[in-house]
Structure 1
Amino acid sequence: MSVLEAFLGPEGTAAMRLSIWVSLWATLLSLPLALWVAHLLVRRRFWGRELLNILVHLPLVLPPVVTGYLLLVTFGRRAPVGQFLEDTLGLVLAFRWTGAALAAGLMGFPLMVRAIRLALEHVDPKLEEAAATLGASRLRIYATITLPLMWPGILAGAVLAFAKAIGEFGATITFVSNIPGKTQTLPSAIYAMLQIPGEEPAAFRLVLVSMAIAVAALVASEVMARRSHPGGR
Structure 2
Amino acid sequence: MENELYLRAFANSFFIATAATVLCLIISVPLALAFARYSFPGKQLLQGAMLIPIILPPFVGAIGIKHFFARYGSLNLILMHWGVIPWDQPIDFFGNSGLTGVIIMEVLHLFPIMFLSLAASLANIDPSLRDAAANMGAKPFYLFRTVTLPLAMPGIFAGASIVFVSAFTDLGTPLIFDFQATVPTQIFNASTEAGDNPIGNALVVTTLVVVSVLFIVGKYFGDSGSYAMMSRSATHTSEIALSPAAGWGVTVASSLLLMAALMPHIGVIVNSFAGHWALTVLPSEWSAKYYAQVFTDDTTTRIIRNSLYYSIGSAFLDLVLGVAIAHLLARENFAGKWALDVVVMLPLALPGLVLAFGYLVSFTFSKESGLAWLNPYINPRQDPTLLLIVSYAVRRLPYIVRAAYAGYQQTSVTLEEASANLGASRLYTLWRITLPLIAANLVAGTILTFSFAMLEVSDSLLLAMDDNFAPITKGIYNLMGRPAPDAPVLASALGVLAMLLLAGSLWLASRLLGKTSGQLFRA
- The question of a shared fold, defined as TM-score above 0.5 by the shorter chain, is answered with yes
Distance 1:215 1:71, change over 3 A: farther
Q: Is 1:93 the counterpart of 2:87 in the alignment?
A: no
Shift of 1:204: 1.7
- Measured in 2, the distance between the counterparts of 1:48 and 1:70 equals 27
Which of 120, 123, 148 does residue 118 from structure 1 map onto?
A: 120
In 2, distance between residues paired with 1:42 and 1:73? 36
Contact 2:98 2:179 in 1 (8 A): no
- Map 1:3-152 → 2, pairs under 5 A: 9-81=3-75, 92-93=93-94, 95-152=97-154
Q: 1:120 to 1:173 in 2, by over 3 A?
A: same
What is the deviation of 1:228? 7.0
After TM superposition, give the deviation of residue 35 of structure 1 in Å: 0.4
Question: Separation in 2 of the partners of 1:228 and 1:155?
Answer: 14
Q: 1:106 to 1:156 in 2, by over 3 A?
A: same
* Structure 2 gap ranges (5+): 86-90, 230-337, 339-523
> Structure 1 residues 66 and 81 mapped into 2: Cα distance closer, same or farther (>3 Å)?
same
Taking a change above 3 Å as real, the CA distance of residues 134 and 230 of structure 1, as seen in their structure-2 partners, is: closer
- The answer to whether the Cα contact below 8 Å between 1:103 and 1:172 also exists between their aligned partners in 2 is no
1:160 and 1:82 mapped to 2: Cα distance? 34
Q: CA deviation at 1:80?
A: 4.1
Greater relative contact order: 1 or 2 (C-alpha under 8 angstroms, separation 6 or more)?
1
Equivalent residue letter for 2:204: V
Match of 1:210 in 2: 207
TM-superposed CA distance for 1:96, in Å, is 2.5
Alignment-derived partner of residue 182 in structure 2: 185
With over 3 angstroms needed to count, the CA separation of the structure-2 counterparts of 1:229 and 1:132, relative to structure 1, is closer
- CA 1:135 to 1:15, structure 2 compared with 1: closer, same or farther past 3 Å? same
Query: Residue 99 of structure 1: CA displacement?
Result: 1.9
Give SS of 1:93's match. Answer: coil
Distance verdict in 2 for CA 1:223–1:81, change over 3 Å: farther
Deviation of the 1:212 alpha carbon: 1.5
Distance 1:56 1:220 in 2: 29
Which deviates more, 109-118 or 17-26?
Answer: 109-118
Q: Rg bigger for which structure?
A: 2
Give the letter aligned to residue 93 of structure 2.
V
Measure, in 1, the Cα distance between the counterparts of 2:179 and 2:148: 42
TM-score, structure 1 length as denominator? Answer: 0.76
Q: CA deviation at 1:221?
A: 3.3
Give, as a single letter, the amino acid of the residue that structure 1 aligns with 2:167.
A
Change over 3 Å in CA distance of 1:222–1:101 after alignment to 2 = same
Aligned mates of 2:220, 2:51 — CA distance in 1: 24
Q: Which moved more, 1:15-24 or 1:125-134?
A: 125-134
Q: How far is the alpha carbon of 1:81 from its aligned partner?
A: 4.4
TM-score relative to the length of structure 2: 0.37
Stretch moving more, 45-54 or 137-146 = 45-54
Superposed, 1:167-182 pairs within 5 Å as: 167-174=169-176, 176-179=177-180
Partner AA of 2:218 in structure 1: S
Q: Is the 8 A contact 2:194 2:201 kept in 1?
A: no
Query: Partner of 1:78: helix, strand, or coil?
Result: coil
Q: Which consecutive unaligned segments of at least 5 residues does structure 1 have?
A: none
Q: Partners of 2:228 and 2:174 in 1: how far apart?
A: 37
Q: Secondary structure at the match of 2:15?
A: helix
Residue identity matched to 1:165 = A
C-alpha contact (below 8 Å) 2:153/2:222 kept by paired residues? no
Find runs of 4+ consecutive structure 1 residues off by over 6 angstroms.
none
